[in-house]
């Protein structure tokens, strides 16, 4: 989202960021980029007034839940605005994979036949354009759920320039690192996999090695895993994740479920840190992995140890990472294409909408359910306020 906001500003577009989320100490200061921030309310007609006064040409919804909440209001009061859904990743794919892991079986596409998928894919159909960060997920949407290619646009996580040549080398680095928001289920599962199955094997072969575990919002159950004697060090929040990564020799990401592409692995490549991950972790990024893709615990341990100990292997992995970033994730490869797509879609919005009958049909029907639910909640909240006010009197 930050990359999109910065790109829009670089085009000299007037950009407003509106969110119902509470402010936190870790939030970015968007005013530095001349981006206006607004607090908005869920299930409130106050948004109707706000959006009419602002009258944007393009509205980007960050994830399908925001499209559900505000999409019908935008369509009602600004029918000519281009509605763009930013998925980040397919939540229903991640949820289906998570369910398969919990049940101890292989993932099947039937695992996506869930209420979450119905909601998410309906939001994709309703939107004029949906931004996808994974080509794998674009293919899935088109082949399995018949989403038209004309409603999808590929724009992955991006880096501004080619990887720097002056980075800490093999001898200047030490230890392992893993990183990720603890509130994100795949990240917490990965920490548990490291603690219970992988780190003991790595530590046995490298008795002086340490694993530094970073991430926002570490709960007590995470901090309780900290054990300095075992080299299992739960660090929590880090102000500069890239700096921390650049000091580590190897990044470990034993992801058993998830979706999209993993920012931590793109960041690791950007600072020249080889990684060991899984097929899920590597999905949508590259098969020529800058490190190793492990298919089981034994392979994961062996590759982690080899990368940590073998400088030649490590240097080759770092070079592969540079190639992957340069060929696939440079901003110059994607930014102009996205802007052109948005401008073209906005200019020919009625023509594109006429091509998508399913989109029109879903907006006619499913928008009513989200609209009426929101209005019911709004009415209920207003009634509660009146009751509270009467009680106070």
Question: What digits encode the pLDDT tens for the residues 30-42?
Answer: 988 899 999 999 9
Is residue 162 one of the residues assigned to a domain? no
Q: What's the CATH number where 315 sits?
A: 3.40.50.2000
Is a pLDDT exceeding 90 seen at residue 18? yes
Same domain for 95 and 8, yes or no, is yes
pLDDT tens-place string over residues 240-269: 999 999 999 999 999 999 999 999 999 999
185-192 mean pLDDT: 96
- Supply the DSSP symbol for 23: P
The reported pLDDT for the residue numbered 377 is 76
Percent of the chain with pLDDT over 70: 94
The reported pLDDT for the residue numbered 365 is 65
16-29 mean pLDDT: 87
Q: What's the CATH number where 367 sits?
A: 3.40.50
Number of domains in the chain: 2
Same domain for 201 and 126, yes or no, is no
Dihedral (Cα; 168, 171, 176, 180), 10-degree rounding = 0
pLDDT tens-place string over residues 214-245: 999 999 999 999 999 999 999 999 999 999 99
Percent of the chain with pLDDT over 90: 84
- How many angstroms separate the first and last alpha carbons of the chain? 46
Q: pLDDT class for 23, splitting at 50, 70, 90?
A: confident
The reported pLDDT for the residue numbered 166 is 84
End of a domain among 284, 308, 329?
Answer: 329
pLDDT tens-place string over residues 79-119: 999 999 999 899 999 999 999 999 999 999 999 999 999 99
Cα torsion angle, 27, 120, 116, 49, sign: positive
End of a domain among 281, 298, 329?
Answer: 329
Categorise residue 236: left if φ over 0, alpha if ψ from -120 to 50, beta otherwise.
left
Same domain for 285 and 344, yes or no, is no
Same domain for 227 and 137, yes or no, is no
Cα torsion angle, 324, 329, 130, 339, sign: negative
| Helices (H) then strands (E): counts for the chain | 17, 12
Same domain for 138 and 27, yes or no, is yes
Q: Tell me the C-alpha distance between 277 and 25, whole Å.
A: 31
Is residue 207 one of the residues assigned to a domain? yes
Is a pLDDT exceeding 70 seen at residue 389? no
Same domain for 185 and 151, yes or no, is no
Same domain for 190 and 283, yes or no, is yes
- Residue in 214, 166, 170, 177 with CA at minimum distance from that of residue 199: 177
Same domain for 252 and 300, yes or no, is yes
Same domain for 91 and 57, yes or no, is yes
Is residue 163 one of the residues assigned to a domain? no
Mean pLDDT of the chain: 92
Same domain for 318 and 181, yes or no, is yes
Q: pLDDT class for 338, splitting at 50, 70, 90?
A: very high
Helix (H, G, I), strand (E, B) or coil at 320: helix
Is a pLDDT exceeding 60 seen at residue 390? no
Is residue 241 one of the residues assigned to a domain? yes
Is a pLDDT exceeding 90 seen at residue 384? no
Q: Tell me if 159 sits within 8 A of 266, measured CB to CB.
A: yes
Q: pLDDT class for 198, splitting at 50, 70, 90?
A: very high
Q: Tell me if 198 sits within 8 A of 255, measured CB to CB.
A: no
Q: Where are the alpha helices (DSSP H) in 103-219?
A: 115-126, 135-145, 185-193, 199-205
Same domain for 190 and 135, yes or no, is no
Q: pLDDT class for 309, splitting at 50, 70, 90?
A: very high
Is a pLDDT exceeding 90 seen at residue 280? yes
Q: pLDDT class for 379, splitting at 50, 70, 90?
A: confident
The reported pLDDT for the residue numbered 363 is 73
CB within 8 A of 319, min separation 6: which ones? Answer: 290
End of a domain among 329, 345, 378?
Answer: 329
Same domain for 114 and 181, yes or no, is no
Q: pLDDT class for 323, splitting at 50, 70, 90?
A: very high
Domain around 366: 2-155+334-389
153-160 mean pLDDT: 94
The reported pLDDT for the residue numbered 27 is 81
Q: pLDDT class for 386, splitting at 50, 70, 90?
A: low
The tokens for 74 are: 């935008």
The tokens for 166 are: 């002056």
Is residue 317 one of the residues assigned to a domain? yes
Q: pLDDT class for 28, splitting at 50, 70, 90?
A: confident
Is a pLDDT exceeding 80 seen at residue 340? yes
The tokens for 103 are: 């049940």
301-310 mean pLDDT: 98
- Residue in 286, 291, 243 with CA at minimum distance from that of residue 267: 243
């Amino acid at each position: 989202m930050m990359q999109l906001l910065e790109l829009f500003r670089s085009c000299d577009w007037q950009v407003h960021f509106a969110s119902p989320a509470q402010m936190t100490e870790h939030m970015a200061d968007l005013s530095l980029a001349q981006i206006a921030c607004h607090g908005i309310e869920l299930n409130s007609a106050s948004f109707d007034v706000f959006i009419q006064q602002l009258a944007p040409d393009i509205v980007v919804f960050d994830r399908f839940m925001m499209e559900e909440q505000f999409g019908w209001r935008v369509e009602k009061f600004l029918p000519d605005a281009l509605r763009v859904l930013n998925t980040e990743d397919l939540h229903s794919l991640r949820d289906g994979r998570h369910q398969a892991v919990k049940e101890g079986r292989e993932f099947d596409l039937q695992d996506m036949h869930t209420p979450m998928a119905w909601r998410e894919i309906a939001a994709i159909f309703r939107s004029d354009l949906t931004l996808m960060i994974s080509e794998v997920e674009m293919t899935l949407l088109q082949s399995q759920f018949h989403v038209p290619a004309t409603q999808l646009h590929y724009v992955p996580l991006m880096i501004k320039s080619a990887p720097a040549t002056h980075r800490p080398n093999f001898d200047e680095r030490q230890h392992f690192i893993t990183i990720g928001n603890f509130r994100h289920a795949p990240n917490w599962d990965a920490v548990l996999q490291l603690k219970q199955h992988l780190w003991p094997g790595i530590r046995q072969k490298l008795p002086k090695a340490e694993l530094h575990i970073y991430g926002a919002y570490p709960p007590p159950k995470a901090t309780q895993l900290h054990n300095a004697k075992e080299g299992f060090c739960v660090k929590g929040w880090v102000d500069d994740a890239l700096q921390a990564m650049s000091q580590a020799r190897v990044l470990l990401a034993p992801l058993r479920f998830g979706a999209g592409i993993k920012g931590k692995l793109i960041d690791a490549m950007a600072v020249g840190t080889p990684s060991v991950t899984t097929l899920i972790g590597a999905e949508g990024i590259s098969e020529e992995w800058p490190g190793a893709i492990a298919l089981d615990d034994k392979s994961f341990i062996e590759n982690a140890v080899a990368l940590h100990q073998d400088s030649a292997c490590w240097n080759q992995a770092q070079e592969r990472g540079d190639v992957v970033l340069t060929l696939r994730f440079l901003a110059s490869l994607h930014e102009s294409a996205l802007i052109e797509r948005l401008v073209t879609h906005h200019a020919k919005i009625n023509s594109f909408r006429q091509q998508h009958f399913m989109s029109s049909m879903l907006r006619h029907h499913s928008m009513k359910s989200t609209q009426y639910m929101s209005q019911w909640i709004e009415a209920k909240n207003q009634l509660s306020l009146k009751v509270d006010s009467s009680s106070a009197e």
